[in-house]
């Protein structure tokens, strides 16, 4: 399609709003502010080591350890501040919550308050910045509880503890060879590419669909000794290839950037596993439910894929804490459903032991 005929993000949102004549337009305005934050972060990331003045500004703010107990890169701090600055004043939000902040951020008294909540991971995959691997920003928009809207009170942690099924919109920006914005407002998934000449996100990937089947899976195999039996079974069967029970060869992928993994799967299919394991028994998973699993899960489900904890649909999980972690499996529907099925089946003999391997004429 010629560039002149492509829709901008603004045009796309206007067309989506027309499906709801009673809509106020607040959601559209909020999403455009989120996209502006992503453009600003894309510019900071693109400068890399050349952005000396930006780097010094970040040094002044400090890095250190965030609320997750993880090393906080200086770009994490900058990206978090950009999200807060771009979205804290517009009158569409009742409050914000970030992976980088222990508590929700209130709307300053000088600004009006709105009916939405914004949760975000300002710079996912920042540990890969030094090696120039694609990173991104993930966001989710929820409706604030009516009691918050009516009273205008400060938001609390409990106001954000909603299941993923209540999301109004979600998406991510990926900062790679091109900057892209992947978005759902509950009517499928659309992909937009940042046109640097226009400074606008332009619709380049309408109606994205995740293939139901895939020959690719992504998992951090260094954790294999901690995997639960259903995950080990699944991976072993994939690695067995054409001569194994699956009867086909699989390829392994692992980027260690959730945004990059999700983007690959939206573009060509695949399955991603960061399952619950026994490495740290105090944690029921490694990825954050509100900031990572819910928005990515919403995108996957809207694109025809599936998102799960391994045991149940991830969007059905009601958060019990702002920074709750979960096991996360998503991607091509048939593979995710197989993994869920393995978790539901009774534990059998050690499938890694050749004495118990299936054999004979009737092996599937």
Rounded to 5 degrees, what are φ and ψ at 143? -80, 135
pLDDT for the residue numbered 284: 87
Q: Where is 342: in which H helix or E strand?
A: helix 333-344
Query: Left if phi > 0, otherwise alpha if psi is -120 to 50, otherwise beta: which for 101?
Result: beta
Q: What is the C-alpha to C-alpha distance for residues 354 and 157, in angstroms, rounded to an integer? A: 50
Separation of alpha carbons 143 and 94, rounded Å: 9
pLDDT of residue 151: 94
CA distance 247 to 241: 6
Cα separation, 284 vs 342, in Å, equals: 18
**Residue range 216-356 in CATH 3.40.190.80:** yes
Confidence of residue 70 (pLDDT cuts 50, 70, 90): low
Q: Is 70 exceeded by the pLDDT of residue 356?
A: no
pLDDT at 185: 97
* pTM recorded for the entire structure: 0.91
pLDDT band per the 50, 70, 90 thresholds, residue 64:
low
Would you call 85 helix, strand, or coil by DSSP?
helix
Checking if the pLDDT of 137 tops 80, the result is yes
* pLDDT attached to residue 49: 75
Identify the architecture of domain 3-205 in CATH. 2-Layer Sandwich (3.30)
Where do the domains of the chain lie?
Answer: 3-205, 216-356
pLDDT tens digits along 242-297: 999 999 999 999 999 999 999 999 999 999 999 999 998 888 899 999 999 999 99
36 alpha carbon, distance to own chain's centre: 18
Task: Output the pLDDT for position 165.
Answer: 98
Contact 111, 87 (CB under 8 A): no
């Amino acid at each position: 399609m010629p560039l002149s005929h492509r829709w901008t993000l603004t045009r796309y949102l206007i067309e989506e709003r027309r499906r709801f004549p009673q809509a106020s337009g607040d959601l559209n305005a909020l999403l455009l502010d989120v996209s502006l934050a992503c453009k600003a972060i894309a510019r900071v990331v693109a400068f890399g080591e050349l952005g000396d003045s930006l780097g010094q500004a970040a040094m002044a703010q400090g890095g250190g350890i965030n609320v997750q107990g993880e090393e906080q890169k200086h770009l994490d701090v900058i990206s978090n501040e950009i999200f807060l600055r771009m979205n804290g004043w517009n009158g569409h939000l009742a409050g914000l919550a970030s992976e980088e902040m222990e508590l929700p951020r209130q709307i300053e008294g000088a600004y009006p308050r709105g009916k939405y909540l914004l949760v975000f991971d300002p710079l996912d995959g920042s540990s890969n910045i030094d090696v120039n691997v694609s990173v991104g920003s993930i966001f989710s928009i929820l409706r604030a509880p009516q009691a918050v809207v009516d009273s205008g009170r400060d938001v609390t942690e409990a106001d954000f503890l909603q299941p993923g099924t209540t999301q109004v919109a979600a998406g991510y920006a990926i900062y790679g060879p091109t900057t892209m914005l992947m978005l759902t407002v509950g009517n499928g998934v659309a992909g937009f590419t940042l046109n640097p000449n226009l400074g606008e996100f332009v619709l380049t990937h309408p109606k994205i669909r995740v293939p139901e089947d895939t020959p690719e899976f992504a998992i951090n195999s260094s954790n294999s000794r901690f995997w639960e039996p259903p995950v080990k079974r699944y991976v072993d069967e994939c690695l067995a290839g054409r001569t194994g029970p699956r009867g086909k060869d699989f390829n392994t992928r692992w980027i260690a950037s959730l945004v990059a993994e999700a983007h690959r799967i939206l573009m060509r299919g695949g399955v991603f596993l960061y399952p619950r394991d026994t490495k740290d028994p105090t944690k029921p998973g490694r990825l954050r439910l509100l900031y990572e699993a819910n928005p990515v899960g919403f995108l996957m489900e809207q694109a025809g894929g599936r998102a799960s904890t391994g045991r149940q649909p991830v969007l059905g999980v009601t958060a019990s804490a702002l920074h709750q972690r979960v096991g996360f499996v998503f991607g091509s529907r048939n593979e995710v459903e197989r993994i869920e099925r393995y978790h539901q089946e009774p534990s059998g003999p050690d499938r890694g032991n050749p004495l118990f391997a299936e054999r004979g004429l009737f092996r599937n």
